[in-house]
Structure 1
Amino acid sequence: MTDPIEQRVAVVTGAGGGIGKAIALEMAADGAAVVVNDLGTSVSGDGTDQSAAQAVVDEIEAAGGRAVANTDNVADYASASNIIATAMDTFGRLDAVINNAGILRDRMFHKMDPDEWKAVIDVHLHGTFNVSRAAAPIFRQQEAGAYVHMTSTSGLIGNRGQANYSAAKAGIASLSKSIALDMAAFNVRSNCISPFAWSRMIGSIPTDTPEQQARVDKLKSMTPDKVAVLATYLASDRAADVSGQIFAARGNEIFLMGQSRPLRGIHRSEGWDPETIASEAMPALQGQFYPLEVSGEVFSWDPV
């Protein structure tokens, strides 16, 4: 049986290590040709190392697969367009884009400076737009294509010290839904994955307390290959009827994540003022308020 992704071409950004590398290897093993994009920066986005992407290409080719390295910057639209051009120039087609590139510059909100905010937004949110937009004319013309974007429970649920990252990841979830809606007429799909996996991106999580150390130990058991198989599925024709969704991959668990919908409404024929909102509306609604929880408190059980 021919694998649904065989003879397809995929771009994977941030594929020099961690989750991106696992996705590139998984897709190549399933027969896809892969553009391995990575600048080779540090977790904070500093420096470059062009050998990171090439090392993954070498590994794919050693296993009999097809791949090409690319070191363009997703945060710049012209540079991101070169990533897509690499796929077309090398393999003559493009079937899937996996937006995985990212950096971290964690800081409590009241201490975060504008440069820390902008750097993370540029790579995650603008980078996802840039690469996706560059691929859109190709997908539209061929009336086929799949986007897979990496969001995070930091954006879907919340985390402390990550206002920039959380905002970017929440924005990516909304961007994915808009792409799914706008591109549906061309048979183009767009979905998100919120990955739980140990990588250098979360290697900076503090371990100052026994509770923090226990959380890190749990994360270390969740390997990137668990995310890679879901990304490969979503990029393949097996997922032909799946679009506009947000999934989480956590060990051997796959979750369908909720999307914002009204929980409860309250009407007052006379209208509202601050006093009646305080005395009537809020008491009626507060039973369904969301608590100030972080991701680790919502996903509080051990991965299976």
Structure 2
Amino acid sequence: FEGRYAFDGFNNNDVSIDRLHYYFPIGDKLKVFAMASLGGHHFYADTFNSGLEVGGGANGSLSRFGERNPIYRLGLGGQGIGLTYNINEVLQISGGYLARGGNDPSEGAGLFNGNYSAMGQLVVKPTDRIKFGFTYLNAYDTTTRPFAFGATGTQLGNMRLGRVGLANQPVSSNSYGIQGQFDISPKFSIRAWGGYTDTKLIGLGDGEIWNYALVLAFPDLGKEGSMGYLLAGAEPYLAGLEVPGDGPMTNDTPFHIEVAYKYQMTDNISITPGLIWLTSPNQDNSNDDVFIGTVRTTFKF
């Protein structure tokens, strides 16, 4: 999962309905987001990464990790609802509920009998240039639809415990996030986030997962609509595992460093060269570093 592109998918170039959402306001302060297909908490909640988080991989960051704190991806792909309410000009609250397999009527599935992810978030905007937020998610994932950070992080960080000789288990998790954005000027912005996930492996033990990042973004660099950025952080990794016998696990920090520049050639065409550097792949420093270079070209119609 580490270093996966934001625009990478599984449809083999087939045309499909990727996302089916409907959102509407109720009064001046409340917005409701109904998600029938490919629901995600980031579609209704602020993720504090303007220009790199654009709800899809064609125009934002090159990697999935570069888009947002991965805890927002818990429950991704399900059905559900999200709410955003502006208390005043300084405070905003968001909340939502997603069920992966919510459209499945079989036993152990559906909206309330299977996988779910519930989120609450408080956003504070003391000035027009500064905003920060606190996020909490509670989730449950079965072995048929396993726990995952939406294709970011190490295999162990996504609880693929077969790599250490343990059977995969249903996972109950509590995730905590803090993130912020400081627009120092119209052409320079600092963003950062940190996430901690406490997991309970049902019938087996407990695990601790961490992720964090610092982003330097340069909107309109060289031309209006263009953007350069530098990101450094760690994708979700399993920092601690408490199970009987304690399987042979490595927990070296897997750093992710990414640099890219999106050049807006015309109103409809952009080109984005970039490089991703991964250290200690799968949280094991005996593995060679990985370098991923790419040039992304985006056509908008």
- TM-score normalized with structure 2 length: 0.31
Greater share of helix residues, 1 or 2?
1
Greater share of strand residues, 1 or 2?
2
More contact order relative to length (CA 8 Å, sep ≥ 6): 1
- TM-score normalized with structure 1 length: 0.30
Structure label with greater radius of gyration: 1
